[in-house]
Chain A
Amino acid sequence: MNLATFKSRASVLWPPVVIGIGILALWESAVVLFKIQEFLLPKPSSIWVELLENWEVLRHASWETGKISLGGLAIGIVTGVAFAFFATLFRFFNEGLTPLAVAINATPIVALAPIFNAWFGVTGSVSNQLVVATVVFFPVFINTAKGLTEVHVNEIELMRSYAAGDWTILREVRIPNALPFFANALRVVAPLSVIAAIVAEYFGGPQDRVGYVITWNAGLARYDVAWAAIAVASAFGLSLFVGALLIERVSTPWKSAVQLEETTKK
C-alpha cells in the first residue's frame, strides 16, 4: 500500500469513527442529564463495566453462537452456490426455482425456528444451524445464479467465435462474471447469519449461547448485561462483515482497482 492509497483509506475511515464516538458520548450524557433510569437505557460506561464483569460467560456464549453462525453460513453458501450452478445448467430448473426463491427470500425464515426445533431437537446445534443455513441460502442462490446467467450475449458469441464450448464459457465467462454477485451476497449474509443465530436461540436451546444470555438477563431486568451481550454479538457480526469485504477485495481485484481510481480522482 503506498501513501496515496493509505491516505484515501484513512479518509474513508475517520468520519464514521468520529461520529460513532460522538453518538456514544451523546448517549452517555443524555442518560446522565435526563436522569434516565438505567434499567430502561443503561449508560455505555455501565455496559462496558458489565461486559468486563461477565467476560467469561459472554466470551463462551459468543464462541458457541459463532459456531452456529459459521456452521449455518457454510452450509447455506455451499448449497446456495451448488443450486445456482444447477439452475444455470438446466434452464427449466432456473425458470421454475428462481421466482420461487425470490418469493421465499421475502418471507421471515427465522419464524421457522420453533418448528426446526421440533424437527431437529432443541438440545443440539443442528436445528439452529439449519435456520441460519436457510436464511443464508436464498440470497446466495439468487445472486450467484444471476451472475452466472446475466452475461452479455455478445460475450457468449465472442467465445463461440473462438470455438469455445459450454465448459470453457462457464470457466472463463460465467464464473468470473458471478464473482462480484457472490461477493455481494456474502456481504449481506455474513451479518445476517449472526442475527438469524441469535433469533433462533431466543426460541430455546442450550443456555450457554448469546440469544439465551440476552433473554435470560432481560427477564431478570439486568438490562446492562443484556446490552453487553448485544455489544459482543454486534462486534462478531461486524467482524464477519469485514471478513466478507476482505474476501470481496481479494476475489475481485478488478473492482477495487477501478473504485480506488475513482475515489482518488475526486
Chain B
Amino acid sequence: MSEKNAVSINDVDKIFNETRDDEVTALSNIDLTIKEGEFVSLIGPSGCGKSTLLRLIGDLLEPTQGSVEVFGKSAHQARIDQDYGMVFQHAGLFDWRRVSANIELPLELHGWSKSDRATRSQEMLDLVKLPDFGGYYPRQLSGGMQQRVSIARALSFKPKLLLMDEPFGALDEMTREHMQIELLRIWEETGTTVVFVTHSIPEAAFLSNRVVVLSPRPGQVHSVIDVDLGQRTESTRQDPKFFAAATEIREALRAVEEQE
C-alpha cells in the first residue's frame, strides 16, 4: 500500500432535486481519503448514500458542494482518462457480444488493435478462471460466471481503481464466498485500489482494510473501522479476529440505527 491518495473526497454534499419540493440531501459533509492499493468498503442502511458516494467518485454524479479527486485530478478527468473500472450488482454484460467481445468493449472504445484486444481478453479470462468461455454468449453462463466476466471487463484496461456496487448481491451464499476469495486474489495480483459498496457485514469484514460506516438522512460518515486479517483464506471465516471485526461493524451499524 502506497502513501499516495487514490481518492480524496473533500467536504462533499450531494443534494438531489435542489430547490424542488422533493429535495433530498443524500450526502452531507463527507470527508474521506483512500490510499492507493487499499480495499475500502462502504456500508450502511439503505438510503445512506453509499451508492451515491461511489457514483461521485466515478463522476457519474457531480457533487453539489465540495470536491472529489481521483489520483490527484478531478473525478471528471479521471473518468475521461479511464482511471477506474466499474462493476455493478447487475452484471451488465451485453447479450449480443460474446464473452471475449464484452471484455474487449472498453479496449475497443479506446482504439486498441484487434490482436492486442484478443491477447488481453484471454489474459483476463485466465485471471477470472474462465479460460475457455470467451466464445460463449453471456446468457449461456451462470450468474456467478457472468459476474466474473464483468470483473474481467472492468479490469481489462488495467485501471488503478475498481469501483464495485454490491457486485455479489445477487449471488447465492456459496458462490458469493468463492467470489470474495477470487476478488482478494485478483486485488493482490493487480494491486488495484478497490472501493466496495455492500450491505453485508461479513463481506465487509472479510474483504476490507477499512470499513466506512455511513448513517442515513442525510448520508454522513458515522465511523471508520480498520480491519487487519492478513492473508485471507476460507478458514479466516472461522478466525476470532474475523468475528471481532464483524462485531465491531455490527455495533457501529446498531449505533447508526439508534441515532435515527
Binding site for B on A (CB under 8 A): 152, 154-155, 157-158, 160-164, 168, 172-173, 176-177, 179, 252, 254-255, 257-258, 261
* Contact of B96 with A252 in the complex, beta carbons under 8 Å: yes
15 interchain pairs, CB-CB under 8 A: A152-B90, A152-B92, A154-B92, A157-B86, A158-B92, A160-B79, A162-B106, A163-B109, A164-B109, A252-B96, A254-B95, A254-B97, A254-B137, A258-B139, A258-B140
Known contacts A154-B92, A168-B109; decide if A254 and B139 are in contact (CB<8 Å). yes
Is B84 an interface position by the 8 A CB rule? yes
In contact, B105 and A172 (Cβ under 8 angstroms): yes
Cα–Cα distance between A255 and B94 once the two chains are bound (Å): 12
* Cβ-defined partner of B79 (8 Å) among A152, A161, A254, A261: A161
CB distance from B196 to the nearest CB of A (A): 16
Count of A-B contacts judged by CB separation below 8 Å: 59
Contact with A along B106-127 (1 / 0, CB 8 A): 1001100000000000000000
Q: Is the CB of B137 within 8 A of A257?
A: yes
Q: Which 5 A-B pairs have the closest CB atoms?
A: A154-B88, A176-B96, A258-B139, A161-B86, A254-B137
**Cβ distance B132 to chain A, nearest Cβ, rounded Å:** 16
A154 to B97: give the CA distance in the assembly, Å. Answer: 17
Q: Does B216 contact A (CB under 8 A)?
A: no
Among A155, A163, A177, max chain B CB count under 10 A is at A163
- Distance between Cα atoms of A254 and B135 in the complex (Å): 11
- Say how far B101's CB is from chain A's closest CB, in angstroms: 10
Inside 8 A of A168's CB, which chain B residues have their CB?
109
**B60 part of interface (Cβ distance < 8 Å):** yes
In the assembled complex, the Cα of A161 lies from the Cα of B89 at a distance in Å of 16
A-contact 0/1 string along B33-73, CB 8 Å cutoff: 00000000000000000000001001010000000000000
* B137 near A258: Cβ-Cβ < 8 Å: yes
On chain B, the residues within 8 Å of A257 by CB distance are 137, 140
Query: Within the assembled complex, what's the spacing in Å between the Cα atoms of A254 and B98?
Result: 8
Q: Which residues of B contact A (CB under 8 A)?
A: 55, 58, 60, 79-80, 82, 84-86, 88-90, 92, 94-98, 105-106, 109-110, 137, 139-140, 163
Q: Are B94 and A173 in contact (CB under 8 A)?
A: yes
Say yes or no: A161 contacts B58, CB within 8 Å.
yes
A163-B82 contact in complex given A257-B140, A261-B140, C-beta closer than 8 Å: yes
Give complex CA distance A162, B55 in Å.
Answer: 14
A158 touches B86 (CB 8 A): yes
Q: Which residues of A contact B105 (CB under 8 A)?
A: 162, 172
A152 to B86, CA, bound (A): 15
List A contacts of B98 (CB < 8 A): 254
B98 nearest CB across to chain A (Å): 8
